[in-house]
Each structure stands twice: as structure tokens, then as C-alpha cells.
Amino acid sequence: MKAVILVGGLGTRLRPLTCNTPKPMIPIANRPFIEHVILRLQRQGVTDVILAVQYLAEQFEALLGDGSRFGLHVHVMREAEPLGTAGAVKNIEHMLDSTTFVLNGDALTDLDLQAMLAFHRERGSKTTIALTPVDDPTQFGLVEMDRDQRVQRFLEKPRLEDVTTNMINAGTYIVEPEVFRYVPPGQHFMFERGLFPVLLQTGDPVFGYPSRAYWTDIGRPQNYLEVNQDVLIGKVQYPIAGDVTSNRIWMQGQVDMHASVQLVGPIVFGPDVVIGRGASIIGPTVIGAGCHIGDNTAIESSVLWENNQIAEEVTLRNCVLGNQNTIAAHTVISGGAIISDQCQIGEHNRLDCGIRFWPGTRLGDKAISF
């Protein structure tokens, strides 16, 4: 069984976290997201994964290699120009020979693909769309079905007044390759605004597969912190790398900490972390490789990527730090703040209310406080 993962998007909504890191490679619980997607596919019986990329092909190749590390084959296929979601699959149509999974590269879910495949076969479907309920369908593709779960209408990013259901396209499809005969080669063409409406017109059977499995689109900043926390508290099946202790502390290597440090799981530590005297780390929290945490610093419900230098008496609560930031003493960062990469934050600042710092921002002492 083959799976195509669509990873051509720019990840603009997730900036500044995606300024230096492509969206599918941003870490969740200290592991690049795409690795989790591939491991999940391997566990669900997929033997070949085709990554439809548009840029940064080398980064995907360097990270994933030929896939043998994951027990399957990975093929990185680059589009010369953005072909849209269905155009990207058309572009690699020659590699498909039978029923295929197609996945948006930013959906975190533990949907049972084999059960969905059984449904697809039982119904004689040509295209099956996984559906999930959401509070606000205007951000997604709305899918209306009849009683037999046959799709009647597809409406991408509907206006509020056009919302008739809260079931949306969850970005996982099972397709029969023959449907790509409707997709023009070498042209920008979307599943959502192109192929699905065409299939409904031609009468090819398109079914919806509703599920209450965990689902989130990681491409939205307000979700990023929550997704990490959901993984750590076990709300979604998502194996975390490292050795775990009975109080849900995962260690992926050496953590050098003073005996007075207070830890309350769930916490994931990358390798080579150093934690000073009197510091406390309260989960759900992720501390990336090479982070140094100063004396009496308190970190709670936050995600830190790699090589952050945090001074003493700092408070980090409900915030995200990217790579290689330096945070000086007595600063408080909270309220969903996102500090991306290589920022230098001076002493006695208070950063709150979803503030976002682009890479390389420098902030003096006492520059922001309220």
C-alpha cells in the first residue's frame, strides 16, 4: 500500500515558527512531525511513502533518507512549481498502481486507516474523505453527506452563513488512481475546489468517513502548544522517543540537574540539558536538546526547541521558544507568546498575550513590562 503526503505548502500561518523550519519538520514532543506521520503509516501497513514537496526537497531527503530507518520506502518527489493538492498527486500518478492514501502533511490524528480502507472497499468508493467535527468550519472544507454517507456537497472555507454542518474534511483521503484522469497534467489543481466538485458532477462515488479520532491541523499557531500538551498527556496515540520514568518524564539523553530541581511530569527532555539549583519544571513541558536552564527558573506548560540559554529567575509559562534563544534573568514569558529563533531577550521583560518574535529579535532590559 502506498501513501502520498502533501508537504508543498509554505506554512505561513505558523510563522514565525516556520521562518527557518518547514511546517512538516517542526518538532512535536522533540521529534520532527513528519517522522511521526511516517511511523504511523508504517504501523498501518504502508510500504511506500511518496512526499510531494515543492521546495526544500534536500531537507526532507537529509532527514528521512530512503525510509529504511522507518521500515518502509520514502520517495521525495519535487514539483517544479506549485501544482495544488490534486495537481501534486497527478504529478506522481505514474508511481500509483492501486488504492492509495493521500494525506495533508499537517494533520495530527490517530485515525485508524485500515478501518477507513475497509469502509472504502465495502462501499465501492472511488474517493473516501475522512471527516472530523470542528467548532468553526469556516477555516476548513465543509462536507455534506446523505444518509448513506455519500458526499453531496463540498464547500471549501465556507462563509459563516453557508455553514450547514460541523463535519469537515480532515485531510486524509483514500483514492482510486483512476480519478486523476479528471486532473489536467502540469496545472495547478486542488482536490478541494477542483477534483471533489468534478467527481460529484460526474457521479463517481465519493464517500465521507466521519470519525471521532483525535484530530488537529498543526498549521495553526494557537494549536501548536496544545498539540504538544495533548501528546504528552496521552490524549492522542503518539509514541514519544526516549526512556520514560513512572512519573512520565522522558529522557532522550543526558540531563544534568541539581538535586534541588523540582520536576512534575509529563516532561520530555532532549539530550544534553543542564538545569540549575532551585529550578522547577512543571508539565506538560518539552525541553529540547542542549537547553541550559538557570538557577531558580520556573518553566511550566511550555515547549522549548533546541539550545536555548535561559538565565536565572526566569519564568516561562504557556509559551513556545524556537532554537537558540537567549533569555536574560528575571524575564517572564507567558500567555501563548512565541519566540522563534536566535532572539536575545534582556532582563526584566514581561512578554505575554500571544506576542510573537521573529528570528533574530533583540530586546533590551526592561523594554516591555506591564
Strand 27-28 relative to strand 100-104, pairing: unpaired
* Cβ proximity to Mg ion, 108 vs 327, nearer residue: 108
Binding mask 79-108 for ligand GDD (x = CB under 6 A): x--xxxx--x---------------xxxx-
Q: 92, 83 in Cβ contact below 8 A?
A: no
- The interface with ligand GDD within residues 15-34 (CB under 6 A) comprises none
Q: List the interface residues with Mg ion, window 213-252 (CB under 5 A).
A: 217, 219
The C-alpha atoms of residue 275 and residue 259 are separated, in whole angstroms, by: 10
Q: Which residue among 7, 267, 311, 345 contacts ligand GDD (CB under 6 A)?
A: 7
- Cβ pair 66, 78 in contact under 8 A: no
Provide the 10 A C-beta neighbour count for residue 11: 20
Shortest separation between residue 233's beta carbon and ligand GDD, angstroms: 22
How far apart, in whole angstroms, are the C-alpha atoms of residue 318 and residue 340?
Answer: 14
Choices 100-108, 111-119, 146-154, 313-321 (CB under 5 A): range interacting with Mg ion: 100-108
How many chain residues are in contact with ligand GDD, going by CB under 6 A?
A: 25
**CB 9, min distance to Mg ion, A:** 7
The smaller minimum CB distance to ligand GDD, of residues 52 and 151, is found at: 52
Burial class (CB in 10 A: 0-12, 13-18, 19+), 231: buried
Closest CA to 170 of 265, 106, 125: 106
Shortest distance (Å) from residue 257 CB to ligand GDD: 38
Q: Nearer to ligand GDD by C-beta: 52 or 314?
A: 52
As measured in angstroms, the least distance from the Cβ of 329 to Mg ion is 39
- In degrees and rounded to multiples of 5, residue 87 shows phi and psi of -60, -35
d(CA 49, CA 342): 34
Residue 6 and residue 261: Cα distance in Å, rounded? 43
- Beta carbon of residue 89, minimum distance to ligand GDD (angstroms, whole number): 8
- Of the two residues 85 and 297, which places its CB atom closer to Mg ion in the complex? 85
334 touching ligand GDD, by CB under 6 A: no
The Cα–Cα gap between 8 and 50 comes to 12
Instruction: Please report which helix (H) or strand (E) contains residue 190, including its range.
Output: none
Contact 143, 192 (CB under 8 A): no
The one-letter amino acid at 41: L
The item of Mg ion, ligand GDD, none sharing an interface with residue 283, based on CB under 5 to 8 Å by kind, is none
Question: Total residues at the site for Mg ion (CB under 5 A)?
Answer: 3
Q: What does the chain come to in residues?
A: 370
φ, ψ of residue 94 to 5 degrees: the values are -60, -15
Q: Which of residues 203-262 bind ligand GDD (CB under 6 A)?
A: 217, 219
User: Looking at beta carbons only, is 78 or 292 nearer to ligand GDD?
Assistant: 78
Up-side HSE of residue 315: CA atoms within 13 Å toward CB? 11
Does residue 288 touch ligand GDD according to CB under 6 A?
A: no
CB 56 within 8 A of CB 22: yes
Smallest gap from residue 208 Cβ to ligand GDD (A): 12
Residue in 18, 21, 30, 54 binding ligand GDD, rule: CB under 6 A: 54
The smaller minimum CB distance to Mg ion, of residues 188 and 220, is found at 220
Please, what is the end-to-end C-alpha distance for the chain in angstroms? Answer: 56
Residue among 137 and 290 whose Cβ is closer to ligand GDD: 137
Residues near ligand GDD (CB under 6 A): 6-9, 52, 54, 79, 82-85, 88, 104-107, 140-141, 156, 168-169, 171, 192, 217, 219
Contact footprint for Mg ion (CB under 5 A): 106, 217, 219
